[in-house]
Amino acid sequence: MSTDSAAAAQEPDQEGDQQPDRPAVHAPPPGLPALFLAFARMSLAGFGGVLVFARHAIVDQHRWMTADEFNETFALCHFLPGPNIVNLSMVFGSRLRGIAGGVAAFTGLLLPPTLIMTVLAIIYARFGDVEALRRILAGISCAAVGLLIAVVFRMMTPLLKRMDVVVTILMLGVFTAIGVFRWPLQAVLLIAIPLSIALTYLMRRKVAA
């Protein structure tokens, strides 16, 4: 076998080594039925809160957003009035499929648990005093706290990887003000939001210069 033939035979292997089979960062935008079903599954799995399962589905499973994009979108929804995850469903669905996508995600998020909770409320009204049921609910609440702490650490990972001192100080400052000193949330946000926007603007101007 000639040298050229041997090199040609080795080229497919080299391409395979250089391009491993990895999923793309962004998957194709889902259709309306896929949006509805995805958020319906999140809501049905979301014991103690949907945020954990929403991040897993959107970022890890379907790869519709990167971790940074999810953090930025959730941060926006966190500062809007209303439940954060409901805001996220509308913003996320509208971003991918317009108003119809927002409605599909919103309906998928709320319709299944609304039907289930209506039935459970009827049952709880009759059997809510049962001691075994109270213990079950106490156990579920503990698991919900653990899930929330886990997703908070996962959302912090992109920020910690960048080792941005200003962002870290701002994050710790908001946590200390609300979690330790128990300052009113509205007052802290009135200071933190303009400050974070101004710092981000100055940092980007410095990088561009």
DSSP secondary structure letter of residue 29: P
DSSP secondary structure letter of residue 30: P
Long-range CB pairs of 51-56 (<8 Å, 24+ gap) are 51/84, 51/85, 51/148, 51/151, 52/147, 52/148, 52/150, 52/151, 54/85, 54/88, 55/151, 55/154, 55/155
> What value, to the nearest 5°, has the Cα angle with vertex 68 and ends 80 and 155?
80
Q: Which DSSP helix (H) or strand (E) runs through 97? A: helix 84-127
Residue in 14, 30, 100 with CA at minimum distance from that of residue 63 = 30
Gap between the Cα atoms of 135 and 143, Å rounded: 13
pLDDT tens sequence across 50-92: 888 899 999 999 999 998 899 889 988 877 888 889 999 999 9
pLDDT tens sequence across 8-56: 444 444 444 444 433 445 778 889 999 999 999 999 887 667 888 899 9
pTM greater than the 0.85 cutoff: no
